[in-house]
Homo-oligomer: A and B are copies of this chain.
Amino acid sequence: WYDKIKIRGYSQVRYNQLGATNERLVNTQGDRSIGKDGGFLIRRARLIVQGDVHERVFVYIQPDFASVVSDQYHVPTLRDWYADIALDKKKEFRFRVGQSKVPYGFENMQSSQNRAPLDRSDALNSAVKDERDLGIFFYWAPERIRKRFKALVDDGLKGSGDYGVVALGVYNGQTANQKERNDTPHVVGRITWPFQIGRQIVEIGGGGYAGKFVVKTSDDITAPDEIRDVRAHASFVLYPQPFGLQAEYNIGRGPELVGDRVVERPLHGGYVMAMAKIGNFLPYVRGVMYDGGRKFETNAPHYKIRELEMGVEWQPIPAVEATAAYAIAERTYPEPPYPQESGRLLRLQIQVNY
């Protein structure tokens, strides 16, 4: 019984202060050490406890020890705390109960342990902060595709892992580690398929979610009790053997601050990334754009984001990865009057896998 429980994890230490041209270019969601007074940062400190506790039950528990609670750094909060309960022995049909990733997009599903760029793109990540929520999800994938999903991770091809070829879910909708604030759950659906085409694998997917979101507001801003929050996306991945191409795009409607009132407004954004797997090195270049409200931020201000990141990930041994990247970015500053800031900076990360 006890032997079924395993401990593993990874951590990321960063430094973003070299060559930074604008100390007001910040990215509070992606990396709080970008900009003024950043210094060294533990970006992620993950300890995963997982195990097949029954032939049809898998538990996955992942706190992050680098969270901030009430200005106190390095307090753990949950990322995942879920159980997979399979309906069949091959685990092709599964229910996932607890807090886990909301099946929306490809990059959101892919672990940060495997992603080449340092942060997820705002375009799709703005849909679900911390990629997760609390609810019940259903996943289906045939056994041979489950094996393919697994191989895409194990072979270093930067796969997403198995979030089903069909995914359906119902969840609170206020994003991870938040109190639910209305009576209506969000619903989500996603379809994806990794096609084997000769030696190459191409994954094509798409999906969407719908719900009503409750925005936090400051004293001088008004908002309705809840606002429609709906998005659809399409994803394309050519896995890097050795050249890879990845693109995602999403459109939708959601909360956005206009004047002194939060209302429902359209949003859209996406990214394109080219990469190559050359021995232990993985160079990449990714361009991101997003125009829309950031619902989980107080007042849901409008963000306009344009970012180009060129970097190289180097993994000399399985336990250690080093990434250096150069980013050219334009972002909305997260405080009123929410001005645009642009700048460039060198980004450095050491990741340790255990």
- Size of the chain A interface, CB-CB below 8 angstroms: 70
Question: Are B11 and A57 touching (Cβ within 8 A)?
Answer: no
Question: Are B75 and A69 touching (Cβ within 8 A)?
Answer: yes
Question: Are B7 and A39 touching (Cβ within 8 A)?
Answer: no
Interface string of A122-157 (1 = CB under 8 A from B): 000000000000111000000000000000000000
Question: Are B69 and A177 touching (Cβ within 8 A)?
Answer: no
Is residue A272 contacting chain B, with contact meaning CB distance below 8 A? no
Is residue A218 contacting chain B, with contact meaning CB distance below 8 A? no
Nearest Cβ in chain B — how far from A114, in angstroms?
Answer: 16
Is residue A332 contacting chain B, with contact meaning CB distance below 8 A? no
Question: Are A77 and B75 touching (Cβ within 8 A)?
Answer: yes
Residues of B within 8 A of A99 (CB): 42, 74
Interface string of A165-186 (1 = CB under 8 A from B): 0000001100011111111010
Interface string of A188-206 (1 = CB under 8 A from B): 0000000000000000000
Known pairs A7-B5, A63-B76; A97 contacts B38 (CB<8 A): no
Which of A78-86, A236-244, A285-293 forms contacts with chain B? A78-86
Specify which of B36, B177, B180 is in contact with A39 (CB 8 Å cutoff).
B180
Interface string of A46-76 (1 = CB under 8 A from B): 0101010110110101010110011111111
Query: Once the chains are docked, how many angstroms separate the CA of A9 from the CA of B66?
Result: 20
Which of A254-262, A301-309, A312-320 forms contacts with chain B? A312-320
Residue of B nearest to A15 (CB): B136
Query: Once the chains are docked, how many angstroms separate the CA of A7 from the CA of B195?
Result: 40
Question: Are B57 and A317 touching (Cβ within 8 A)?
Answer: yes
Which of A245-253, A273-281, A346-354 forms contacts with chain B? A346-354
Question: Are A40 and B134 touching (Cβ within 8 A)?
Answer: yes
Query: Once the chains are docked, how many angstroms separate the CA of A333 from the CA of B60?
Result: 37
Residue of B nearest to A57 (CB): B319
Is residue A266 contacting chain B, with contact meaning CB distance below 8 A? no
Nearest Cβ in chain B — how far from A26, in angstroms?
Answer: 13
Is residue A219 contacting chain B, with contact meaning CB distance below 8 A? no
Counting from the closest, the 4 A-B pairs by CB-CB distance are A39-B180, A74-B78, A54-B319, A83-B352
Enumerate 11 A-B pairs (CB-CB under 8 Å) in ascending A order: A4-B354, A11-B59, A11-B83, A37-B181, A37-B183, A40-B180, A54-B319, A57-B352, A66-B81, A73-B77, A74-B177
